[in-house]
Amino acid sequence: MVKDDIIVVLDIGSTWVCAIISERNADGVYVITGVGVRPSTGLRKGVVVNIEATLRAVCAAIEDAEMMSGLEVHECWMGIGGNHISGLNSRGVVGISGKKRGNREIGQEDIDRVIEAAKAVVIPMDRQILEVIPQSYIVDDQKGIRNPMDMIGVRLEAEVHIITCTVTGAQNLVKCVNRAGFRVNELILQTLAAGRAVLTQEEIDLGVVIIDIGGGTTDVLVYADGTPYSTYTIPAGGAQVTGDISIIKNISLENAEKIKVEAGCCWEALLDEDEVVIVPGVGGRAPMSIPRSQILTIIKPRMTEIFKMVKQQLDSLNLPRLLGGGVVLTGGGAQLTGAVELASDIIKLPARLGCPIPTPELSGLVEEYRTPSYATAVGLVLESVRRANAAGLLRGSDPRQGDKKPADLIDKLKSWLREEFF
């Protein structure tokens, strides 16, 4: 159970660990009451490379959120992403049983069976299924059905998008959180959560690409016909941009990151000719003043490379229709000046910056958190609330959800007894 209708989420990335605590008020709205952010040094490209460093960052972030909210928490919902995530599309087919209904009306058991059939794909032993998202159903020859419940037919097909991750990648993340003293309720794909926070329903229906530019990787999720269609990761992100500045200008990563954030740009039209950047000196040397355009010549090639790789993958997809919703950039790297213009120019689609959109389900979203950097964390709260409600874990959930589990258990027990003894 989710204690006292408190939702705690963890966004663990290559750059930072963000913990958010939200509490349900008397009006049934979740209010963000605590946020904790700490630097992350234990992950590389979304994969844990140092358990102790990740554990410390998780503990510190949750403690900061607890102090802000005045609550003590013991469990959380956690985002997962990075270079080890991949997606594929699959299809399952079953005959409609009609055991309880002579007219072959589709019931929940038929839907569950066809989803299980669609999941029966061969994946390597070192990978596991993270999400199975239904795209559409086909009843006999009728296509494009979103919900086949109570329809009448003979054959039911399901088209699904399956997202997988490496077993060790997921286990190491969960291990870090468990060792910090918290239980993980469920792993949620980070780009799916970010889309929940920044995309409009119109964009999803028209088809849209969400590009989450993180520190170590750039995660991409493509929506087509209102559902996820493709998931892939580009093994480059904001950290590579920072590294380029550090190497070419012979400065520390800390100073390079500061220059990138404060003066970075990747679109010439947004620069002033007279703008300069102060580059700190090394070893007691005096700082240098250089044109901001020099920083652009370092940043733009790397950002161009990232967007070209996104475009290459997009072009390889057999999309059912054009992506009318365009491109939405989110994540810390999306805040780089000119990133939206460069993405639109390379991908040849209209682009915008993705910031968390205020929703009736969540309040306490102050201006500080309405930035692309917090898109995944805010989306994790929204997606966790949706899943907890669907599972009947929260007060005020559909009471019938709570009645289903015992009934299902009794039905299964009766079925087993009949098979074994009668």
Q: List the beta strands (DSSP E) in 270-402.
A: 276-279, 288-291, 327-330, 351-353, 362-363
| Per-residue confidence (pLDDT) for residue 3, from 0 to 100 | 54
Does a structural domain hold residue 412?
no
Taking alpha carbons only, the member of 386, 407, 414 closest to residue 2 is 386
Residue 338 is assigned to a structural domain of this protein: yes
Q: Is residue 333 in some structural domain?
A: yes
Distance CA 203, CA 206 (A): 5
Q: Read off the tokens for 85.
A: 């995530």
Q: At which residue do the structure tokens 């594929």 appear?
A: 88
Residue 141 placed within a domain = yes
Q: Is residue 71 in a domain?
A: no
Instruction: Give a yes or no: residue 343 inside a domain.
Output: yes
Q: Look-up: residue for tokens 């080890």?
A: 84
**Among 296, 320, 351, where does a domain finish?**
351
- Say if residue 149 is in the same domain as residue 232: no
Q: Same structural domain for residues 155 and 226?
A: no
- State the pLDDT at residue 394: 58
208 and 339 both lie in a single domain? yes
Q: What is the pLDDT along the chain (422 residues), one digit of tens a residue?
A: 355 589 999 999 888 999 999 999 888 889 999 999 999 888 888 888 899 999 999 999 999 999 999 999 999 999 999 889 999 999 999 988 765 545 678 888 889 999 999 998 999 999 999 999 999 999 988 988 999 988 888 899 999 999 999 999 999 999 999 998 999 999 999 999 999 999 999 999 999 999 999 988 999 999 998 999 999 999 999 999 999 999 998 888 999 999 999 999 999 999 887 788 888 877 777 888 888 999 999 999 999 999 999 999 999 998 888 899 999 999 999 999 999 999 999 999 999 999 999 888 888 878 888 999 999 999 999 999 998 888 766 555 543 444 444 445 555 555 554 554 44
Identify whether 100 is part of a domain.
yes
Q: Could you tell me which residues come within 8 angstroms of residue 22 by beta carbon, excluding any fewer than 6 positions away?
A: 6, 7, 8, 9, 30, 31, 32, 33, 362, 364, 381, 385
CATH number for position 137: 3.30.1490.110
| 281 & 215 share domain | yes
Largest CA distance in the chain: 90
Same domain, 127 and 210: no
- Asked if residue 222 and residue 146 are part of one domain, the reply reads no
217 shares its domain with 307: yes
413 CB neighbour count, 10 Å cutoff: 10
Specify the pLDDT at position 118.
94
Residue ending a domain, choose from 323, 351, 379: 351
In terms of domains, do 208 and 284 share one? yes
The reported pLDDT for the residue numbered 326 is: 96
Assigned domain for 70 exists: no
106 and 242 co-located in one domain: no
Provide φ and ψ at 15, rounded to 5°: -105, -40
pLDDT for the residue 402: 41
Confidence at residue 400, expressed as pLDDT on a 0 to 100 scale: 41
Number of structural domains the chain divides into: 2
- CATH number, domain with residue 326: 3.30.420.40
Nearest alpha-carbon partner for 87 in 195, 220, 197 = 220
Q: Where a domain ends, among 140, 165, 190?
A: 165
The percent helix, strand, coil of the chain (3-state, each to 5) is 40, 30, 30
Same domain for 209 and 318? yes
What pLDDT score does 396 carry? 53
Q: Is there a single domain that holds both residue 143 and residue 214? A: no
- By residue range, what is the domain housing residue 108? 86-165
Judge if 324 and 216 occupy the same domain.
yes
Contacts of 268 (CB under 8 A, 6+ apart): 293, 296
